[in-house]
Amino acid sequence: MSKAEKLYQERLQRYTTAMECGKPDKVPITFPLGEWVVKYTDTTIQEAYYNFDRTTEITCEIIRDLDFDLMYSALNLWWPPMFNAIGSKLYKFPGIHLEENSQYQYIEEENMKPEDYDEFIDNPTEWLANKFLPRINEEFANPGSYRATAALIKSVAAFAMANDKSAKASEKLAKEFGVVPYGTGMTKAPFDTLGDALRGMKGILLDLRRRPEKILAACEAIIPHNIAYAMITAAGDTTLPCFAPLHRGAYPFLSMEQWEKYYWPSLKAVIEGLWARGKRMFFFAEGNWTPYLEKIAELPDKSIVFVIDATDAKKTKEVLGGRFCLYGGVPTTLLTYGTPEEVKDCVKRVIDELACDGGFVLAPGGVVMSDAKRENIFAMIEAGREYGVY
């Protein structure tokens, strides 16, 4: 076994122990990959998004001398060519719609109309293929036409290329640097599936008052879809947790009453469905989830990795600690606006507060901003090793 392979096994063990709420030899630490890396290279964000090989190169360059366990996220999570090939209206990318050093942006529209609910509920997959795809992709506006067929083939080919490149990049990071990915596969809360790209924020918030029963029926119909999606995108892997970016469930988008009735039951059903298959959810609770901690505690023990962003860390430890692995603790704002000294103090505090009896991963609480400072990220990783030995 090579040195890197040995490191990989050690780090995987560390992470697995933490996910099982146990106490590993050291607190596992996450390296947050993101657009912030680009400004320390001679690359533009446009190139980092589009040129997969270059992205892997700059990733390897920046992590070369660092000692951490997990890598979170990817720079080309949404590889633009697969969207460009089919004329997607969902995103704006640098170099085409935005200047070359901008992050991509998401365009939220009401892509599903109120009158689409019944057809969607009846068969979500069929509705997505026949109605949704032509609406969100300019080149696929007329399914069956020569233009649409060519665009679909190009986009699917790009998707396959992206998956292949991404698998190879992971393999390289594992084999040469012993880096463990934080997760495999992706899914969402059914309410977010409905509220993100289908009805949009405004649409779903109005539905809460105008047609609440349709929301409930649609979320119910999405549950099996989202369980399957997680398992398919993870290619069946159950060692690592499945990423679930949770959006509209953050406080205060919804009132307590709305959250309990419309957001939580179907998300809980997805988590339980995955857990029955041995798959954990990486509960990416961006924003503040403090008011909902008691409800989240109803989940089966160890079925999620709970990510602490702006949620009250002390309260999280009180309510969820010991039963679920906690992850995060370092505010993303500190990584942008703070100094290495402040980051170090924060890491010490976080480890004292959250890591004591195990079941904890040190990481930024959310997506690191594109203007984060390298010295702060490095300080987080170094302090994590300094203070994080059990």
Partner 1 sequence: MLADTLSKAMAELEEEQVLEQVKERLGGGVAPLAIVKTLQEGMVEVGNRFQSGEYFLSELIMAGEIMKGAMDILEPHLSGESGEHKGTIVIGTVKGDIHDLGKNIVIMLLKGSGYNVIDLGVDVPKEKFVEALQETKAPLVGMSVLLTSCQEAMKETIEAIRGAGLDTRVIIGGNYIDETVKNHVGADYYATSATDGVKVAAEVFGA
Q: Summarize as ranges the residues that interact with partner 1 (CB under 8 A).
A: 92, 98-99, 102-103, 105, 107, 201-202, 205-206, 208-209, 252-255, 258, 333, 336-337, 369-371
Query: Which of 173/380 has CB closer to partner 1?
Result: 380
Closest distance of CB 107 from partner 1, Å: 7
Per-residue buried b or exposed e for 263-288, using 16+ beta carbons within 10 Å of the residue's own CB: bbbbbbbbbebbbeeebbbbbbbbbe
Query: Which of 214/317 has CB closer to partner 1?
Result: 214
How many Å apart are CA 194 and CA 206, to the nearest integer? 13
Query: Which of 3/209 has CB closer to partner 1?
Result: 209
Closest distance of CB 35 from partner 1, Å: 8
Q: Where are the alpha helices (DSSP H) in the chain?
A: 3-19, 45-50, 52-63, 80-84, 117-122, 124-127, 133-136, 146-177, 190-193, 200-210, 212-233, 256-258, 264-276, 293-296, 313-320, 332-337, 340-350, 374-387
| DSSP character string of 370-383 | TT--HHHHHHHHHH
For 292, the token pair is 């909902």
Query: Which of 168/202 has CB closer to partner 1?
Result: 202
- Contact assessment for residue 253 and residue 196, using Cβ atoms and an 8 Å cutoff: no
Closest distance of CB 381 from partner 1, Å: 22
For 212, the token pair is 């609440």
Alpha-carbon Rg for the chain in angstroms: 21
Query: Which of 202/277 has CB closer to partner 1?
Result: 202
Closest distance of CB 336 from partner 1, Å: 6
Measured between its terminal Cα atoms, the distance across the chain in Å is 26
Nearest to 305 by CA among 280, 322, 288: 280
Closest distance of CB 209 from partner 1, Å: 5
Closest distance of CB 113 from partner 1, Å: 15
Query: Which of 103/290 has CB closer to partner 1?
Result: 103
Burial degree of 243 (CB within 10 A; 0-12, 13-18, 19+): buried
Nearest to 260 by CA among 230, 211, 194, 216: 216
CA 187 to each of CA 47, 52, 241, 281: distance values in angstroms, whole numbers, following the listed order: 28, 23, 11, 9
Query: Which of 81/94 has CB closer to partner 1?
Result: 94
Closest distance of CB 360 from partner 1, Å: 26
Closest distance of CB 106 from partner 1, Å: 9
The residue count of the chain comes to 390
- Establish how many alpha carbons lie within 13 A of residue 30's alpha carbon, considering only the half-sphere containing its beta carbon: 27
Closest distance of CB 371 from partner 1, Å: 5
Closest distance of CB 374 from partner 1, Å: 16
DSSP label at residue 29: B
Query: Which of 101/163 has CB closer to partner 1?
Result: 101
CA 105 to each of CA 92, 94, 163, 346: distance values in angstroms, whole numbers, following the listed order: 5, 9, 22, 31
